[in-house]
Structure 1
Amino acid sequence: MSTMNISLPDSLKSFVDEQVSQRGYGTSSEYVRELIRKDQERLHLRKLLLAGAASVPAGAADARYFEGLRERVRKSGKAGAHE
C-alpha cells in the first residue's frame, strides 16, 4: 500500500477526528479511504446514468413494464431466501 500525506486546516482535522471517533473507524486513513471509495462509486454511477440517458429506449416504461420488474424482484427475493 502506498502512503500519501495531506495537510488540513485545524477545523478539517477536528472534523475528521470526530468522524473517526463517532463512526467507528480505526484511523483517519480508514475514513479517508471510505470517502474516496464512495466518490469512485458516485462517479461510476454518474457514468452509468449518463450512458443510460444517451441510449435508445428499449421500450415503453408503462404499468406493464413496472409490474414485470416487480415480479422479477419477487422471484429473486424468493431465490435468495433459499440460499
Structure 2
Amino acid sequence: MSKNIVISDDVYRRLKREKGDRSFSEVIDAKLDSGGTLAEVSGQQVFDAETADHVSDEIESLSRGTVERITDETD
C-alpha cells in the first residue's frame, strides 16, 4: 500500500538528489533501517552547529548587500 505525504520543495529536491536510481521509499527505508534519521536523508544538519551558524551569517550578510544594491539602483 502506498501513502501520499506532503513535503516542502526543498526537501523534495534533496531527496531527489539522494535517490539516484532508487525510489523515494527505498531511500527513506534504507536510511531508517541503518539507524539514520529523515534529516540525514533530506540533507539537513550536514554541517556542525558552528559551521551552520557561520554559513547562515554569511548568507544574511550577502543578502543585505543585494538589497542595498537594488535600493541604490532604483533610487
Q: TM-score scaled to structure 2, two decimals?
A: 0.41
| Rg larger in structure | 1
Q: Which structure has more RCO (C-alpha within 8 Å, separation ≥ 6)?
A: 2
Instruction: Answer 1 or 2: which has greater helix percent.
Output: 1
